[in-house]
Amino acid sequence: MVEARVLSQSSPETAAEELRWLSRCREGDESALAALISRHRRRLVYVAANVLRDRHEAEDVAQEAFLKAFRELHKLRDDRAFASFLYRICVRLCLDRLRSRRAEPAEFDRVQPCDGPHVESRVLIEKLLDTMTPDLRTTLVLREMEQLSYEEVAELMRVPVGTVRSRLHTARDRFRKLYLDATSEAR
Amino acid sequence: MKSPSCLLFNKLHTRFSEDQLRPWEKAFCERHSQKCMDCRELGDTLDLALNLLKDHAYEFEGSDDFEENVIRQWRVEKDKPTVWAYWSPSLIGAAVAAIALLAILQVLAATPQTPNYNAKGQEARRSTSHIPDFPGFPTDLNTR
């Protein structure tokens, strides 16, 4: 199962190791680059896949996020904030993708392996999330699926905590109504 | 129409499940959901929907060549010439041409100095050398 926290720092040794990798990255050391990718890749793909509900697009976005983060490494003032810097880029890219694909009809990611009764509920989840606005959808996913704190969601989405609170209320309420409508239709 | 306490429950119930409520709000929600069947159903549906959402979280880690892909793209970006590197030969050529043109213009403009006919204390005088001498006719026309 996914880890509980994305942005909070891990052990001091791990944090120090990451700082060393970052300074080597600035010097163009590719092994440090690879180390950073392998540390954050899993989590970053999870976040993108859950927000976008499409594994191919999620992988693209995660790769793009890494490249953008490395390209803009000079903008990072505090190296200890690299994780939030990286995830913020990823969430922003996800939001851009969601906004650009809104006009298109909802499409179920057929590549995701699942069978039996799970298929129906997965299709339902995709359908419900697709009817929500990108901001509400992303807030809901980051809080409910990624288990991020309100502060972490606010940091990733670059909005005040109060906005996260109100968006989350709206998103949950809308999700519940959509779920109720969808399940009563099916009956 | 819903009662005020149902409306308040509606407002609070989305935060009920994650312990984000103040003690009195929590106590109110618990009390109200025991009394009001509709509101209890509302809370249950939300829990059900959110649990379904959590159950369908993606567990996809990306393809095996994820790292390689990123590093390869990074190399391509790094080796790509920058805008300055791409345009610098043309810019340097243009700068040299501009300097040369300015120098040529300077050389062409530097013609010998023309005499100043309007020097102070002098005036234009008509030549009288071609006028024959006639008796009683003033020889110096300029003094007339």
Q: Which chain B residues are closer than 8 Å to A31 by Cβ?
A: none
Condensed to tens digits (0 to 9), the pLDDT of residues A92-102 reads 999 999 988 75
d(CA B19, CA A172): 15
d(CA A157, CA A163): 10
Those residues with Cβ within 8 angstroms of residue A21's Cβ, 6 or more apart along the chain or in another chain: A32, A35, A36
Q: Is pTM, for the whole model, over 0.90? A: no
How many angstroms separate the CA of residue A164 from the nearest CA in chain B?
12
d(CA A12, CA A6): 16
Residue of B58, B59, B69, B76 to mutate, testing the A interface (most A Cβ within 10 Å of its Cβ): B58
Among A55, A58, A63, beta carbon nearest to B70: A63
pLDDT bin (cut points 50, 70, 90) of residue A14 is confident
Condensed to tens digits (0 to 9), the pLDDT of residues B71-93 reads 999 888 877 767 777 778 888 99
- A-B contacts at Cβ under 8 angstroms: 102
Condensed to tens digits (0 to 9), the pLDDT of residues A40-73 reads 999 899 999 999 988 889 999 999 999 999 998 8
Q: Is ipTM > 0.90 here?
A: no
A54: closest CA among A1, A96, A131, A112?
A112
> pLDDT means per 10 residues in chain B (144 residues)?
80 76 86 88 87 84 86 84 76 94 89 60 65 67 58
Condensed to tens digits (0 to 9), the pLDDT of residues A131-147 reads 899 999 999 999 988 88
Neighbours of A151 (CB within 10 A): 12
pLDDT bin (cut points 50, 70, 90) of residue A2 is very low
Condensed to tens digits (0 to 9), the pLDDT of residues A151-176 reads 999 999 999 999 999 999 999 989 99
Q: Which chain B residues are closer than 8 Å to A173 by Cβ?
A: 10, 14, 46
CA distances, B7 to each of A70, A73, A93, B39 (Å): 49, 49, 37, 9
Residue of B13, B41, B74 to mutate, testing the A interface (most A Cβ within 10 Å of its Cβ): B74
By CA distance, what is B69's nearest residue in A? Answer: A63
Report yes or no: A101 and A57 within 8 Å, Cβ to Cβ: no
Residue of B22, B46, B53 to mutate, testing the A interface (most A Cβ within 10 Å of its Cβ): B53
Report yes or no: A44 and A62 within 8 Å, Cβ to Cβ: yes
State the average pLDDT for chain A: 84
State residue B40 phi and psi, 5-degree precision.
-65, -40
pLDDT value for A1: 35
Condensed to tens digits (0 to 9), the pLDDT of residues A16-48 reads 888 898 988 888 888 999 999 999 999 899 999
Q: Which chain A residues are closer than 8 Å to B56 by Cβ?
A: 118, 121-122, 125
* Cross-chain residue pair B67–A38, CB shorter than 8 Å: yes
How many angstroms separate the CA of residue A97 from the nearest CA in chain B?
18
Q: Which chain A residues are closer than 8 Å to B80 by Cβ?
A: none
A144: closest CA among B49, B65, B20?
B49
pLDDT value for A53: 87
Residue predicted with more confidence, A185 or B142: A185
Environment class of residue B4 by beta-carbon count within 10 Å: exposed (0-12), middle (13-18) or buried (19+)? exposed
Q: Which chain A residues are closer than 8 Å to B11 by Cβ?
A: 169
